[in-house]
Chain A
Amino acid sequence: MPPEDVDTPLSDPGPGPATGPVVPPTTEPVPDPSPVVAGHAATAGSAPALSVRGLWRRFGQKVAVAGIDLDVPAGSFYGLVGPNGAGKTTTLSMSTGLLQPDAGTVHVHGQDLWASPLQVKAMLGVLPDGVKLFDRLTGEQLITYAGLLHGLDRDTTAERTRDLLTAMDLTADKGTLVVDYSAGMTKKVALACALVHVPRLLVLDEPFEAVDPVSAANIRDILASYVRSGGTVIVSSHVMDLVQRMCDHVAIIAGGHVLAAGTVDEVRGDASLEDRFVDLVGGRVSGEGLAWLRTSSD
């Protein structure tokens, strides 16, 4: 969630642009993503699943998100990548009604999120990162709770809860309190909660963190079939390879700005997504340091 996301660069002197307002040390000026995205909007022919304009958010002295424009075409599998503290979590929080933007608008399928939050939230499925769940409930109760909060009736909730538990391979643990789940199981049950009301737009912040490879593959299948059936998915991730394989669109965010956005092929060009990302974001240090870090045989 925002504060952590914002704090990270302060404590982590690793690669990537330092703090918010500082323009990232890219080799080229910050590109305006709108021309690229506009092309997609035109081909899609309908209102984008998510349309963000001029989104700003400041925490105290620090600008976490500095005027982000983003269009996520309906039916796309959209990856949001960026270094730690880039503003991914803050952007996603503001796009899902969890955090009030200082400025800017968010439209989901043409409806203004902050003008009519209840209608828009009904279309959204959210998996935030770095927050807890109501973990004194059992897995089954938690998914049921999410379904009922979205106004599903009892039979629908029960049926979908059963199916989701099976799909997430949690049936054996449905009676265990979520507080006793492993990190991966917790992610899976949270994802199930985000899916239970069949949202039109699914926003997942770091959905694969701590999830084992088998579960991750299952989740990818679920998400892919969800997209095939017309849903839209936004995932944020650090793992470029995963995004490149899974997503059809991608936006690279750093220092609270969008550096590049479009289809994966457009953004990466001839290079791999990872190379393109490092190229845009910068911050690689040469491997010559730490000369003393050699274990000798004696």
Chain B
Amino acid sequence: MVAHLVRLKLTLLRNGLKRSVWQVVGLVIGLLYGLFVAVLAVAGVVTLSVARPDLLPTVVVLAGSVVMLGWWVVPLLAFGVDSTVDPGRFTTFPIPRRQLVVGLAVGGLVGIPGVMTSLVSLGTVAAWWRDPAALVAAIPAAVLFLLTAVVGSRATTTLVAPLVARRRVRELLAILALVPIFLIGPILSSLEGAFEGARFDGLVAALAWSPLGATWGVPVAVADGEWLVALGRLAVAALTLLVLAVVWDRSLAHSLVNPIQERAGGTGRDLGWFGRLPATPLGAVTARCLTYWVRDPRYAASLVFLPVVPIFLWFVSPGGDLLLVLGPVAAYFMGWGISADVAYDGSSFWTHVAAPLRGSVDRLGRVLSAALLGVPVVLACAVVPALALGRPQDVPALVGVSFGVLLTSWGASSIASALVVYPVQKAGENPFQTKSNGGTTAVVSQLGGSLVVAVACLPEAVLAFVAVRQGIAWLGVLTLVVGLVLGAVALVVGVRVGGRVLERRQTELLRQLVSFA
């Protein structure tokens, strides 16, 4: 049974790869990246064991606990990431649950995260080369760690799945999950300084006794010669695995016969934006996009950067001068954010293709809906940091460059989204989950678009830089004028050209979108 389930998973993977070359490319890139990170991690741990053996327990227990937590929590937020072997699909087959559980656990290791974690944990064993007893103790610890990680991820997902199936809850979770991702860098850099001190000792000691870090606490204790402690931690680790396995088993038994039903989402009492905007095709497109900005978490997810970027910039330059670039950065995010708009529509884009709708109306409607939010946000991001830093003289230059970037990005987005579509997460799916098979098209389009935007915004960017650096007031005003004029030109060109491209390519885009579904 176990072998069957693993083989099933491999077959699914292989069949998925057969469908398109890009899936293979995506997997290879993913594997190489994973391998790179894994090798780096193992090399790091081994180097540490040579150079700073005193830090080894801290690092292994801390990193192990973080990875364990990741296994337990990330699948919750990225629910459905690995639904290829969804237990629900086995409901109609007479498979003993215990075998299903074991098979799914082992099958859970097939995949990039599983392979990576296996490599790193087995590689970490080598870090105790100084102490044969600890080395031997580390091997079962690594295996126990892997099992606990996989079983734990299954247990949490199965347990929380009924809750997560409620769309609102999942949407909220997904957006919240993105925030710490952005903050990983700053957190790590602030930890760096703390590393030298003994600040972590208490935390590490606690973690080594906790379900999260107990497995790696075992070889650490053995290396210290504290056999009783090692035994105690082993007991904690084994008990953790047992509890998780039972939880998983029980909730699986429940969920197999009580399949999850997606609960109804919110209801709209009236026509919403459709009743407020002009009753024209342009007004309708705008109203539809605005409604999606509110109801579709994928759009909302593009706003997550808002509170995060300033914090990030603050971390990078404690003086806060770098906060002045917040305006252009926010403008780029907001402007380029609609570059995958048609891909987000998915096959429902047919509504536009079937209607007698001009391409430029489609383009302009999407920009207008983004503008309702984008204009005030970018204005605030350009003005507030300057005022907060006591530099009101920089406001015109910053507003100029910000709106130059915003309008130009909208123009570029209007053309980009008419040229290419790539698989994106669907409306109901988790925004956390990315589609690997669209990778190359997506990357080329993103890079190309960014390059075009950067070149087109060069005049106002240079002017703004000089104006702010030298504090020349009239140059700031000039930046404002140049930014607005160039941006407006770029937007008009983008909407016109994008509209024509869309009319020519819409059937091809639709055909691709349907094939992604």
Chain A interface (Cβ within 8 Å of chain B)? Answer: 1-4, 96-100, 117-119, 121-122, 124, 126, 128, 130-138, 140-141, 144-146, 148-154, 157, 175-177, 179-180, 193
Contacts and interface: CB of A to CB of B under 8 A. Distances in A.
Interface string B264-279: 1111111110100001
19 contacts: A1-B511, A3-B515, A97-B354, A97-B507, A98-B507, A118-B356, A118-B358, A130-B347, A131-B350, A134-B351, A136-B291, A141-B271, A145-B288, A145-B351, A149-B352, A150-B281, A175-B270, A177-B295, A193-B351
A96 B517 CA distance: 21
Contact of A137 (B288, B356, B515): B288
A231 to B, nearest CB: 17
Interface string B346-379: 1110111111111000000000000000000000
Interface of B: 262, 264-272, 274, 279-281, 283-285, 287-288, 291-292, 295-296, 345-348, 350-358, 427-428, 503, 507-508, 510-511, 514-515, 517
B269 A132 contact: no
A179 B265 contact: yes
A136 B295 contact: yes
Contacts of B272: 138, 141
A136 B292 contact: yes
Given A133-B351, A135-B427, A149-B351, A122 B356 contact: yes
Contacts of A151: 280-281, 356
B268 A175 contact: yes
Nearest to A131: B347
B295 A153 contact: no
Contacts of A180: 262, 264-265
Contacts of B510: 98-99
Given A136-B291, A141-B268, A98 B281 contact: no
A152 B262 CA distance: 35
B291 A137 contact: yes
B315 to A, nearest CB: 36
A154 B274 CA distance: 9
Contacts of A134: 288, 292, 345, 348, 351
Given A138-B267, A180-B264, 16 more contacts: A3-B514, A3-B515, A97-B507, A99-B507, A118-B357, A130-B514, A130-B517, A132-B347, A133-B351, A136-B295, A140-B271, A148-B284, A149-B281, A150-B281, A176-B267, A177-B265
A96 B507 CA distance: 11
A90 to B, nearest CB: 10
B268 A146 contact: no
B57 to A, nearest CB: 51
B501 to A, nearest CB: 15
B507 A141 contact: no
A130 B356 CA distance: 21
A145 B284 contact: yes
Given A98-B507, A145-B274, A176-B267, A133 B348 contact: yes
A179 B427 contact: yes
Nearest to B292: A136
A72 B384 CA distance: 64
B287 to A, nearest CB: 8
B268 A177 contact: yes
- Main SS class of interface, B: helix
A219 to B, nearest CB: 19
B257 to A, nearest CB: 22
Nearest to B361: A149
A115 to B, nearest CB: 13
A244 to B, nearest CB: 29
Contact of B274 (A130, A141, A193): A141
A150 B267 contact: no
B243 to A, nearest CB: 37
A132 B427 CA distance: 10
Nearest to A190: B351
B355 A150 contact: yes
A121 B507 contact: no
Contacts of A153: 279
Contacts of A135: 348, 427
A148 B275 CA distance: 11
A154 B351 CA distance: 19
Nearest to B357: A149
Given A134-B345, A157-B279, A128 B350 contact: yes
A282 to B, nearest CB: 29
Contacts of A148: 274, 279-281, 283-284
A146 B352 CA distance: 9
Contacts of B345: 134
Given A134-B345, A149-B351, A154-B279, A141 B264 contact: no
B356 A121 contact: yes
Contact of A146 (B269, B283, B347, B355): B355
B279 to A, nearest CB: 4
A3 to B, nearest CB: 5
A97 to B, nearest CB: 7
A141 B356 contact: no
* Residue among B265, B285, B508, B514 with most chain A CB within 10 A: B514
Contact of A97 (B280, B287, B353, B515): B353
Contacts of A175: 267-270
Contacts of B292: 134, 136
A132 B350 CA distance: 8
Contacts of B284: 144-145, 148-149
A112 to B, nearest CB: 15
A176 B264 contact: yes
A189 B199 CA distance: 62
A100 B507 contact: yes
A148 B271 CA distance: 12
A151 B283 CA distance: 10
